[in-house]
Amino acid sequence: MTIQTRETERLQALARYDMLDTPRERDFDEIAELAARICDTPIAVVNLIAEYRQFFKAEVGLGVRETPLDSSFCAKAILEDDFLLVPDATKDPRFNCNPLVTGESGLRFYAGALLKTQDGHAIGTVCVLDYQPRELTALQQETLQVLARQVMRQLELRKALKDRDDAQRRQAVLNAEIAHRMKNTLAMVQAIAAQTLKGVNERDAVEAFSQRIMAMGAAHDQLLQQDWASASLRRVVRPMLELHGDGGRIVATGPDLELGPKATVSISLLLHELATNATKYGALSRPSGKVDLSWTVEDGGDGPVLRMIWKETGGPIVSEPSRRSFGSRLIRMGLIGQGGVDKQWLPTGLVARFEAAMADVQRR
């Protein structure tokens, strides 16, 4: 395939998202703001690379919505596999003659994580820039890549909704709904980032951050299949079994139920944290360990109640942690983010019980 053919296909992929020259949106602005804060840079951008220009869907520290492509750092970044880091542009032959480097602005540092489509086309970046040479920690680099994946998830969700229904009235309703959902999601992303990255430099923090984002992504994938209205409980449980089950070591039993959007996200995060803890410290940390996950719907007096039990056996002797981590707080939020949790650290392993009214579990 020639360079021109690849570029033509890349531009066609970009056009399918129909995002060029669209107004600013808070969902994307917050991603740029978060990138600037985490990387401690004066400039951060969510941009899309068109044929002769780069369009800034969101920016911090620039004050413009687009610039020509000739002097763009990101035009070089999209030629990389996933990430471009330029500690000092004056020492990089690709950029030392760039007018943005030699001119009055005097840019020196660039780091960009690619926005890549599902078929591998690089359509833009989430990037940060500085007027001084510098480096990024591994944690900061990984965070930029996580934020780039979040941008692509938003673009894919919006594209999927647009493709699903061409009727203008229905499209307007769905777009308003997706904007609302994604705004709430980004707020949760920021909370997780703040808790996970605050004062932490270990690689474990990067992994925890990425895995939690993936758990939310899995929940959104399930909601997307039902127009963001509901999701199947069994389909929510399945990714946890595939990720941590290790040949049937997590056994799940219970009726299939329809979950509302809030319960879908809460239960996905809840099960992810339980399974992660079991893998690190509990039953799944030993070959003989197993987990029995079960749920029932019972009469609660004021209406049906969903009761779920997570029971670990065959692992090491466990005790209640002395420190409450962010993961433990996610677990304490329960099935719908409002509690209803009882945990017991028994000699045989952790037993956690959760309950919530079905009316709240299925609320749309």
Question: What is the tens place of the pLDDT at every residue in 55-80?
Answer: 999 999 999 999 888 888 888 888 88
Quickly count: other Cβ atoms within 10 Å of residue 91's Cβ: 11
Q: Among 3.40.50.960, 3.30.450.40, 3.40.47.10, 3.40.30.120, what is the CATH number of 3-135?
A: 3.30.450.40
The per-residue pLDDT for 173 is: 64
Residue spans of the chain under pLDDT 50 = none
Q: Would the CATH topology of 3-135 be identical to that of 233-361?
A: no
Measured between alpha carbons, how far is 153 from 226 in angstroms, rounded to an integer? Answer: 17
Residues 214-223: tens digit of each pLDDT:
666 666 565 5
Q: Report the CATH number of the 233-361 domain.
A: 3.30.565.10
Domain locations along the chain: 3-135, 233-361
Euclidean distance between CA atoms 32 and 342, whole angstroms:
39
CA distances in angstroms from 331 to 158, 263, 285, 288, 335, listed in the order given = 30, 13, 19, 25, 9
Q: Is the pTM of this model over 0.75?
A: no
Distance of alpha carbon 139 from alpha carbon 210, whole angstroms: 11
- Show the tokens assigned to 116: 């890549």
DSSP state of 283: G
